[in-house]
Structure 1
Amino acid sequence: MELKKIINTKHQTIVAYTNYGVKFRNGIFYTKSFLVSPEIDPIFWSINKYNFLTKKDFIHISKFNPSVVILGTGNIQHFIHPKLTYILTQKNIGIECMNNQAACRTYNILVSDDIKAMLALILD
């Protein structure tokens, strides 16, 4: 699906996604899991299944100090146990779990509103 173009070009935004990957405005198509925020280029993330997530993954994400984390858990929405995400809530960082398509759309909306969101997308 192609997403509506967002005018603010200073941020990392998604222009298209499929069940197998995500295309950013720079034209690069990512087919492996990644982390991205408005100021940070996508960085590969070693997670390829939501049930492989550990506390260490969320500790790593918390170091970027986002306002909210949008966790795309694959083509199906899965919820993560609060024991794993406790570090985020302890630092007043919100977390929302959703399928990847919803996560991409939500991330773009938050970024267009200048919210410091981090997209953690699991592609398997």
Structure 2
Amino acid sequence: MKLHLTKAAGNQLITGYGAGWIQVNELRYTQSLIVLPELVIPDWDVQTFSDLTEAHFEKLIESTSGSAKLEVVLLGTGEKHQFIHPKLSRALIEAGIGIECMDTAAACRTYNILMAEGRNVAAALLLSH
């Protein structure tokens, strides 16, 4: 699906997504990634939802520590909506960062809306089931 948004000057915008891929500013990615308004972290080392550990969320915080403080992480859980165990997101909660779980397509759309509103949001997107 191709997405359209007019208010993204200078930011990382999710411009399309489909089975096994996500496009950010017209650059296609085929592995799990993290998208922030100011950068893309293309090497998020998690393949599937069941692979998620506390360390993945700790790495997310470390990877974004040079940026403005995150308000919320949108976790795209793949093709279907799944919830993570609260212990996995403990580092985010302790850092005062919210987390919302949704399927990856919904996370892409929600990220674009929040980013366009000027919110400091991260989309952590899983591409596998």
What's the TM-score, normalizing by structure 2? 0.90
Q: Could you tell me how far 1:36 is from its partner in structure 2? A: 1.5
Structure 1 counterpart of 2:28, which letter? F
Residues paired across the two proteins, number: 123
One-letter amino acid of the structure 1 residue matched with residue 123 of structure 2 = L
Q: Give the CA deviation at 1:45.
A: 1.1
State how far apart, in whole Å, the 1-side matches of 2:45 and 2:96 are. Answer: 25
Q: Which residue of 1 aligns with 2:74?
A: 70
Matching residue of 1:56? 55
CA distance in 2, matches of 1:6, 1:108: 10
Deviation at 1:21, TM superposition (A): 0.7
**Once the two structures are aligned, what percentage of the paired residues are identical?**
37
Q: 1:51-106, CA deviations, whole angstroms, 9 ceiling, x for partnerless residues?
A: 11111111111222421000001000110000110111111100000001000000
Segments of 4+ moved more than 3 angstroms:
none
2:7 counterpart of 1:30: no
Distance across 1 between alignment mates of 2:6 and 2:12: 10
1:83 to 75, 84, 87: 87
Q: What does residue 97 of structure 2 align with?
A: 93
Distance 2:38 2:107 in 1: 18
Superposition RMSD on alpha carbons, in Å? 1.1
**Match of residue 124 from structure 2:** 120
Give the match's secondary structure for 1:44.
coil
Q: Is 15-24 or 36-45 further displaced after alignment?
A: 36-45
1:97-119 deviations in Å (ceiling 9; x for gaps): 00010000000001001111011
Residue pair 2:45, 2:56 contacting (<8 A) in 1 also:
no
Task: Write the distance in 1 (CA, Å) between the matches of 2:124 and 2:6.
Answer: 20
Stretches of structure 2 that go unaligned for 5 or more consecutive residues are: none
**Structure 1 unaligned residues grouped into runs of 5+:** none
Q: Equivalents in 1 of 2:108, 2:30: separation in Å?
A: 14
Distance 2:48 2:57 in 1: 15
